[in-house]
Structure 1
Amino acid sequence: MRELRRVATGVWVATARIWSSSTVVVVDDDGAALVVDPGITPAELDGLAAAVAARGWHVVAGLSTHPHWDHVLWSRGLGDVPRLASPAAVAALADDVERGWAEASSAAPGHDRTLFAALTPLGRASRPGADVPLPPPAPGGCRVVVHRAHAPGHLALITRGVLVAGDMLSDQEVPLLDVGPGGDPARAPLDPLGDYRDGLDVLEQAVARYDVDVLVPGHGTVAVGTDMIAERFAADRAYLRALDDAVGTASHTVTDARLADPWVAGEHATQLGLLRARPPTPGG
């Protein structure tokens, strides 16, 4: 059975062993539950289903923050319910589902292929900057904001003073840009660095608009309080500035405590190399 930690009224977090990945469960007073980004191993998903059942909750919907494989998993134990994502995320995944399934099978073997990435697009969340409520049967008081940072159609959930940020604002990972599926530069957006900055703007505006005081990143630890949340934004903006400087100046060194992790350092090196190889953005 998964351990669930309460971070706000009706909002619970489970942390996976792989990459400290976060799963969030939002629960109404009647036990209706929304499960966000369930992961990562089959055993962890089964354990999550057992923990939900043990509390007398019933899952009514799922939500995927973005179309990377570790955010589009599911278990039969969680029920046959709508699993929502932005239209752009659903479309991106449809074009790349086999590669995603191969990555899932390698990193967390044993998942049910028929449940992988079976997502329903949120019709009103079709543009970057969209800020819309989740429709029933999702619990009340849930809304999403959409942007293009990190992955096509990335969205964040806001509910009960909590921002569920997906793969952003982590204390363990630097900002990871959308560099195309599998790092394919031919399929990357024109300005992934600008998209990431815009995504941070969207999230920061939502934090202020909805009085958010708890931040749950997709990977890493929960930030509690406005000061700690502001530090996450400041750290990510500082990294993006340093990354931009390094693109134009080969001798520039990016300094960030999160780069001490070898995997994070490798991702940083990859995206720096890809940015240096790209032609200048229009007007840049």
Structure 2
Amino acid sequence: MAVTDAQNPLLGETTCGTLLQKLQEIWDEVGESDEERDKMLIQIEQECLDVYKKKVEQAVKSRAQLLEALSDARTELACLLSALGEKCFAEFVSSFTQLSLVYILCYHMCKPEKASGTIKEQLEAIAPVLEQLWEQKTERVKEFSDVQTQIQKICGEIAGNLNINDIPAVDDADLSVQKLNEYHAQLQELQKEKSDRLHKVLEFVSSVHDLCAVLGMDFFSSVTDVHPSLNDLTGMQSISNDTLARLAKTVLALKEEKKQRLHKALTKY
């Protein structure tokens, strides 16, 4: 049993002291000279220093990566708040029930160099803030996309292009409530213009219908010549500038035809 313990110094509790003591015993048994012992101890010390040095280098690299991650998180925080607008900051802060998170948010925005806590603690504190801001940004982008899509659709109808399938690009740099309200105001104006144009189209179509009935002309053929969508009052009808102009021209032509026929009838008698 004693031989086994001597051959395996790792049995039991192992420390640097016990290992060094075991090494001294082996050297005594072998008969190593003091010079060789000093040389081996210096080698062991150097190897230990190399291990420590490597660990320090790894720790320095890890710290640098964490600091970079923290810097990126602060930059991301600033960009998100900037994109979502000034009102977002007040609304966002008021949404937190924990004062510590509000404090962290304000400190990272105003004095990031003086933010308290370890690097990991600061990263853990800023993470829920970023998560909530990203959720808010995603919702805001959807709102912008919806309103811009409606604007694009109505603009296409006015321009005479009814087949616009491209999704409009949303400017991530400005997702403020003020900008969103501007888009909603623009959409309301366009919706009103669309309503006015549709009302005008229906007036023209009604006039064409009445004139065609008086003149004995084919109503559907007349409006289809202007635009194919006009012969189906239940579907989407063209409200473009070209359609309105051609409808006005058709009404004038039919009125002129009615006038000439009436004049011809009067002169005949």
Alignment TM-score, normalising by the size of structure 2: 0.19
Alignment TM-score, normalising by the size of structure 1: 0.19
Write 1 or 2 for the structure with the bigger share of helix: 2
